[in-house]
Amino acid sequence: MNKSDDKTLMERSLKGDRHAFETLLVKYERPVYNAAYRMLHNPDDARDVTQTVFLKVYEHLDQYDPARRFFSWVYRITLNESINWLKKSSRQATLEQDTADQGSGPRQQAGQAQIGEGIQAALMTIKSEYRAVIVLKHVLGCSYSEISEVLDIPVKKVKSRLYTARQLLQERLTEQGLH
């Protein structure tokens, strides 16, 4: 993640350079969509959240703090929007029901796609604050310090959340016969 490039593009976007904003969009569209999808487990919702994220970024260009890295601002908006989306649509309860209804077939019967779905289903059963650290670490490839910056929490708390999240996931995957 090149901080200076993003900063330059942000400055140009702020001056009304649409091409600069489009360059940022191209760079971050896919990770934002992936993060939203892993938070929401619904492609339509992920698409809408991605759209909202970039429109909010554009609308609040003048509120961007150049001391922060651009990606941490965008990812924070993405996670907040995803969590808001879950609250608004009350999908959380439905998703938890959906995942509870999914079978727990033995691992040897599960194809790679089923394993991926099983992991995603397990992700949807844990609290969004835990899912957020998993998404930052495993989907967006952030380091501890980057996660700390995005979520604005101490690194020590990042470590403890990641540990708890993985323990919860390990339990769920075991229940599903995937571990």
Partner 1 sequence: MAIDPKYVELINADIDGEISSADRAAFEAFIADSPEAQALHAELSAVHASLDSLPELDSPPHLKHTIMASIPEQNEGARSTPGAFLQTLFAAPALRYTAVFAAGSVLTLSLVSSDIVSQGAFDDMTGLVGTISDQIPQGPSIQTTPIESKDIAGTVTLHSSGPILIVDFDLVSSGPVDIVASYVDKKVWFNGFAQLESPGVSVSAESGRITMQIDGKRRYALYLHNAGDRDITIHLQFTSNGEAVYDTDIEYVQPGHSG
Angle formed at CA 16 by CA 79 and CA 140, multiple of 5 degrees:
25
**Backbone dihedral angles phi then psi of residue 90, each to the nearest 5 degrees:** 55, 35
The only residue of 62, 65, 101, 152 in contact with partner 1, by rule CB under 8 A: 62
The only residue of 56, 68, 96, 114 in contact with partner 1, by rule CB under 8 A: 56
Looking only at residues 102 through 121 of this chain, which bind partner 1 when binding is defined by CB under 8 A? Answer: 112, 115-116, 119-120
Task: Provide the 3-class DSSP secondary structure of residue 76.
Answer: helix
Determine the Cα–Cα distance for residues 167 and 177; give it in Å rounded to an integer.
15
Determine the Cα–Cα distance for residues 147 and 165; give it in Å rounded to an integer.
14
**Judged by CB under 8 A, does residue 58 bind partner 1?**
yes
**Which residue, 37 or 71, is less far from partner 1 as judged by CB?**
37
**Judged by CB under 8 A, does residue 11 bind partner 1?**
no
CB 37 within 8 Å of CB 46 = yes
Interaction pattern, residues 22-41, with partner 1; x per rule: CB under 8 A = x--xx--xx--xx--xx---
Determine the Cα–Cα distance for residues 97 and 75; give it in Å rounded to an integer.
28
Instruction: Transcribe 46-66 into DSSP letters.
Output: HHHHHHHHHHHHHHTGGG--T
**Which residue, 4 or 16, is less far from partner 1 as judged by CB?**
16
Neighbours of 35 (CB within 10 A): 26
**Which residue, 59 or 101, is less far from partner 1 as judged by CB?**
59
CB 159 to partner 1: min, Å: 6
CB 135 within 8 Å of CB 39 = yes
CB 13 to partner 1: min, Å: 7
Sites of contact with partner 1 (CB under 8 A): 13-16, 18, 21-22, 25-26, 29-30, 33-34, 37-38, 43-44, 47-48, 50-52, 54-56, 58-59, 61-62, 112, 115-116, 119-120, 134, 137-139, 143-144, 159, 162-163, 166-167, 169-170, 173, 178-179
